[in-house]
Amino acid sequence: MVPRQPYTSAVAVTVTHLSRHFGQLQAVRDVSFQVNAGEVFALLGPNGSGKTTLIRMLCGLLTPTSGQARVLGYDVTTDSEAIKARIGYMSQRFGLYEDLSVRENLDFYAGLYDVPRRGRRARIEALIAMAGLTGRERQLAGTLSGGWKQRLALACAIVHQPPLLFLDEPTAGVDPVSRRQFWGLIYSLAQQGTTILLTTHYLDEAEHAHRVALMYFGELVALDTPAALRAHGLHGTLLEIACDQPLAAVTHVQGLPGVQEAVLYGSVLHVIVAPGVAPETVAQALTAAGITGVSWRPIAPTLEDVFISLLSKPPAPARA
Ligand SMILES: Nc1ncnc2c1ncn2[C@@H]1O[C@H](COP(=O)(O)OP(=O)(O)OP(=O)(O)O)[C@@H](O)[C@H]1O
Ligand SMILES: [Mg+2]
């Protein structure tokens, strides 16, 4: 049985120059960062950018090719069993037993994680209440809708009260109301002192995290609080441009020198111009091209603007 004394270090996860190759493919490349105890840390990145590979290394399920990582003070390469027993991990395809009921799934994971028999029943009752599954205890997991399944999966992953929780896309395919409820659970865990590292493709969710890391082709390309990323993550100026022919305008703007990115946001354009480029030159170029009613103003970027800008840079070669 794993001792249940709380983990008291200020740092829950330390990653140092961590890499993982699959043959020629560098899935995770020289990644370094720390996760502080009690933090909600979000990992973002396009499909295939290495998020799951990184999490699996941190959970002691996959050996790094090079570099080090310590999780709750344990080395991922030499102490993987100690890590597995102490953390909670909800994988991208979490293994709920579809032909077992809600309560039977929780019972199964309680046994797997060696939750003491004394107190186990009370723990499971508390988890059923926390996950809002009261009244569904006997329902087969396979018949739960997506949002309920995710909440049951979270409850199973924390049945042994781990101080550190890894959630790999816990809200994928879940409706906005259920996502909000799920985040309510995440916050209440964080308030009780649980450290949470999660991946998501939803930028509104990233805004709820204390810090956000962005991965791209296996590398960590940004790491900061959402506010700091919005304030400083964009290398250039974001302009909102209104005009009478937005579709024609966006095509034209994309080809202008000094324009890093131009996308249509409803009926207006969001245009990122390189540092030092005067916004008037973009507006003048549009007017000269026959676009009418052109007006512009600088606007504060959203996290989405920042990430799109960071991901529009060509990646370094992805092969070893
Ligand atoms: N066991 C494996 N063998 C070979 N290649 C792998 C293996 N696991 C992952 N990869 C490759 O490593 C790269 C990173 O995959 P990974 O699953 O970590 O990405 P991800 O960021 O989690 O993507 P997603 O957002 O789609 O979940 C991908 O190119 C993937 O095909
Ligand atoms: Mg993944």
Please write the tens of the pLDDT for every residue from 201-211: 998 889 999 99
Give whole-number Cα distances, 92 to 96, 121, 180, 224, 243, in Å.
12, 28, 19, 24, 43
- pLDDT value of position 233: 85
Please list every protein residue whose CB sits less than 6 Å from any atom of ligand 1: 22, 25, 27, 45, 47-53, 92
Which residue lies with its CA nearest to atom 27 of ligand 1?
47
- pLDDT value of position 136: 95
Which residue lies with its CA nearest to atom 9 of ligand 1?
53
Pocket test for ligand 1, best of 22, 28, 43 (most atoms within 8 A of CB): 22
- pLDDT value of position 308: 85
For residue 320, pLDDT over 50 is answered with: no
- pLDDT value of position 313: 67
User: What ligand has the least distance to the C-alpha of 56?
Assistant: 1
For residue 180, pLDDT over 90 is answered with: no
Which residue lies with its CA nearest to atom 29 of ligand 1?
48
For residue 212, pLDDT over 70 is answered with: yes
Which of 17-31, 67-81, 175-189, 305-319 has the least mean pLDDT?
Answer: 305-319
Give whole-number Cα distances, 56 to 69, 87, 94, 165, 221, in Å.
12, 12, 13, 12, 20
Q: H/E/C letters for each residue in the chain?
A: CCCCCCCCCCEEEEEEEEEEEECCEEEEEEEEEEEECCCEEEEECCCCCCHHHHHHHHCCCCCCCEEEEEECCEECCCCHHHHHHHEEEECCCCCCCCCCEHHHHHHHHHHHCCCCCCCHHHHHHHHHHHCCCCCCCCCEHHHCCHHHHHHHHHHHHCCCCCCEEEEECCCCCCCHHHHHHHHHHHHHHHHCCCEEEEECCCHHHHCCCCEEEEEECCEEEEEECHHHHHHHCCCCEEEEEECCCHHHHHHHHHCCCCEEEEEEECCEEEEEECCCCCHHHHHHHHHHCCCCCCEEEECCCCHHHHHHHHHCCCCCCCEC
pLDDT tens digit string along 102-141?
Answer: 999 999 999 999 999 999 999 999 999 988 899 999 999 9
- pLDDT value of position 316: 57
Pocket test for ligand 1, best of 20, 51, 92, 201 (most atoms within 8 A of CB): 51
- pLDDT value of position 215: 96
| Domains along the sequence of the chain with CATH | 11-230 (3.40.50.300), 235-300 (3.30.70.100)
Instruction: Please measure the distance between the N-terminal and C-terminal CA atoms of the chain and give it in whole angstroms.
Output: 42
User: What ligand has the least distance to the C-alpha of 54?
Assistant: 1
- pLDDT value of position 4: 42
For residue 288, pLDDT over 60 is answered with: yes
Which of 57, 20, 12, 60 lies closest to 38 in space, CA to CA? Answer: 12
For residue 98, pLDDT over 80 is answered with: yes
Centroid of ligand 2 to alpha carbon of 51 (angstroms): 5
The rounded Cα 318 to chain-centroid distance in angstroms is 22
For residue 317, pLDDT over 90 is answered with: no
Centroid of ligand 2 to alpha carbon of 167 (angstroms): 10
pLDDT tens digit string along 22-73?
Answer: 999 999 999 999 999 999 999 999 999 999 999 999 999 999 999 999 999 9
Assigned token pair, 126: 């508390």
User: What ligand has the least distance to the C-alpha of 53?
Assistant: 1
For residue 8, pLDDT over 90 is answered with: no
For residue 1, pLDDT over 50 is answered with: no
Which of 179, 88, 103 lies closest to 139 in space, CA to CA? Answer: 103
Compute the average pLDDT of residues 267-277.
92
- C-alpha 47/C-alpha 44 separation (Å) is 9
For residue 318, pLDDT over 70 is answered with: no
Centroid of ligand 1 to alpha carbon of 27 (angstroms): 6
Q: Percent of the chain at pLDDT above 90? A: 73
User: What ligand has the least distance to the C-alpha of 167?
Assistant: 2
For residue 146, pLDDT over 60 is answered with: yes
Which of 48-52, 160-164, 181-185, 316-320 has the least mean pLDDT?
Answer: 316-320
* Full-model pTM: 0.88
Q: Percent of the chain at pLDDT above 70? A: 95
Q: How many CB atoms lie within 10 A of CB 190?
A: 17
Which residue lies with its CA nearest to atom 20 of ligand 1?
48
- pLDDT value of position 185: 87
Centroid of ligand 1 to alpha carbon of 136 (angstroms): 35
- pLDDT value of position 221: 93
Contact 44, 55 (CB under 8 A): no
